[in-house]
Amino acid sequence: MNDTHYSETHIGRRAFIGLMIAGLAALFLGRGLFSGLLKEDPGSTGTTGFRINSVGGTPAFDESTWQLTFDGLFRKPATLSFAEFKALPQVERTRDFLCVEGWGVDSVEWTGVTLSEVMQRFDIDPSATHIIFHSSDSAKYTDSVTIEEAKRDDTVLAHALNGAPLIPDMGSPLRLVLPGTYGYKYVKWVERVEAVALDSGGYKGYWEKLGYPADATI
């Protein structure tokens, strides 16, 4: 090569370093820009900002026949209609939601019944270590929470989102809400709540059998 043509400027490395700095700035700065862009995600469900993910389709919900079962190590097993469930003491909790895929929704208001209320009302056995939630979808999706997680005052079986009843794709009529963990713990279409005593291996839900960690803490 003719060196006279290549002796002037190291533009390549400067441009590369400049792009690296721009990338890091995009990653660590400009939170407002990113949150604004994320809310306009085209795959989201209108104003709620959620993307719809399911592995077994959306099951039908008929309020006149729907039932919720509490069994396993609940010493007062019960089966409730939707009206009976809604008659339990209701709470509202506003928390951020984050999917394991990386997208999130800020300040989601959930309405429902706390798990601590359920555990007290249906008298959970002290030997229980986990509570498993069974979905009515065709994949028989399940996941679990530890008793410690269940006792938190923001772990909720929710039937409403931002003041409106859950839509079918979002888990109608009931969805588990476990703030501080990734969305795969938020079991949709809950129809059965089972208290169990497990060894240290714990319980592997649908995604956990496929490699996700059982502790989905963010």
Partner 1 sequence: MKRPEGIKRFVLAERLAHWLYALLFLIVLVSGLLMRIPLTRAWLGAARHGVSVRHGATGFAMIVVPLLLFALLDRGRLRGDIREVDRWSRDDRRWFWAALRGDSLRKREMPPQGRLNAGMKANSILVAAMAVGFAVTGGILLGKTGLPAWLVSRALWLHGFLAICATALFAGHLVHVFGTRHGRGYLQAMIKGGLPEEIARERHVLWWQSMKAEDPPTQRTEDEMP
Tell me which residues in 185-214 interact with partner 1 (CB under 8 A). 206-207, 210-213
What 3-state DSSP class applies to 37? helix
Closest CA to 85 of 163, 179, 173, 194: 173
Q: Does 7 bind partner 1 (CB under 8 A)?
A: yes
Residue 12 or 126 with smaller CB distance to partner 1:
12
Question: In whole angstroms, what is the distance from residue 51 CA to residue 171 CA?
Answer: 12
Question: In whole angstroms, what is the distance from residue 115 CA to residue 193 CA?
Answer: 10
Question: In whole angstroms, what is the distance from residue 42 CA to residue 49 CA?
Answer: 9
CB of 59 to partner 1, least distance (A): 14
Q: Residues near 23 by Cβ (< 8 Å), separated by ≥ 6?
A: none
Which residue stretch of 35-43, 61-69, 85-93, 146-154 sits at the interface with partner 1 (rule: CB under 8 A)? 35-43
Question: In whole angstroms, what is the distance from residue 110 CA to residue 65 CA?
Answer: 24
Residue 42 or 89 with smaller CB distance to partner 1:
42
Binding track over 79-118 against partner 1, x by CB under 8 A: -----------------x-x-xxxxx--------------
Chain residues in the site for partner 1 (CB under 8 A): 1-2, 4-13, 15-16, 19-20, 23, 26-28, 31, 34-35, 37-38, 43, 51-56, 96, 98, 100-104, 139, 182, 206-207, 210-213, 215-218
